[in-house]
């Protein structure tokens, strides 16, 4: 099995996880954005600058300093979540585009075996074929999926990072 086909198999096995992680990241991002807006509103009302500055220990005792350090921390979290969401969306889009090149039956065989773990025997019974033919057909479809997934010139996703 070539490296591309092997990676394509791993991508399909990770497809459900990618969707779950994308949903979780979106929820966390929405929550972080709400927290950021709430924090800005609260801090803007209570922040005033006095003569006290951060001490030698690195603590920030001034309300203004505390406000800006907290704000920077939240911004970094938002940037990380946005970057993660973009990467997951790009991966999902590439996989969906590669899968959309298949008829519904072939797409079902790929997803049910490689993503959801159905055996060739179960698929053979479901699609009225022998287990050997289901395996041959499924592995052929996997090779075609790999070609679809990695042949795209606009593909900018590092799948090693996603499935690794």
Nearest to residue 109, comparing CAs of 148, 160, 145, 71?
145
How many alpha carbons lie under 13 Å from residue 114 in its C-beta half-sphere? 30
> For residue 142, what are the contacts with CB-CB under 8 A and spacing of at least 6?
5, 8, 9, 12, 110, 114
Taking the model in full, what pTM does it have? Answer: 0.73
What's the domain count of the chain?
A: 1
Predicted pLDDT of residue 15:
92
CB neighbourhood size of 87 (10 A): 19
Predicted pLDDT of residue 155:
57
Q: Give me the tens of pLDDT residue by residue for the chain, a chain 164 residues long.
A: 578 899 899 999 999 999 999 999 999 999 888 877 777 666 655 555 444 454 444 455 677 777 777 778 888 889 999 999 998 998 898 899 999 999 999 999 999 999 999 999 999 999 999 999 999 999 999 999 998 888 865 555 677 676 66
Where do runs of H (alpha helix) occur along the chain?
3-46, 63-99, 104-110, 120-127, 131-151, 159-163
- Alpha carbon distance 22, 25 (integer Å): 5
Q: Which domain holds residue 39?
A: 3-163
Q: DSSP state, 115?
A: I
């Amino acid at each position: 099995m070539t490296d591309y086909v092997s990676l394509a198999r791993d991508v399909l096995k990770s497809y459900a996880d990618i969707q779950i992680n994308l949903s979780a990241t979106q929820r966390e991002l929405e929550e972080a954005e709400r927290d950021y807006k709430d924090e800005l509103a609260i801090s803007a009302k209570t922040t005033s600058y006095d003569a006290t500055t951060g001490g030698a220990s690195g603590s920030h005792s001034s309300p203004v300093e505390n406000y800006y350090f907290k704000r920077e921390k939240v911004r970094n979290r938002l940037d990380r979540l946005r970057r993660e969401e973009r990467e997951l969306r790009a991966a999902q889009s590439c996989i969906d585009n590669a899968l959309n090149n298949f008829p519904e039956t072939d797409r079902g065989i790929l997803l049910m075996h490689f993503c959801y773990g159905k055996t060739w025997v179960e698929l053979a019974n479901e699609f009225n074929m022998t287990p050997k033919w289901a395996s041959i057909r499924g592995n052929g479809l996997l090779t075609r999926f790999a070609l679809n997934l990695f042949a795209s010139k606009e593909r900018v996703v590092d799948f090693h990072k996603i499935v690794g």
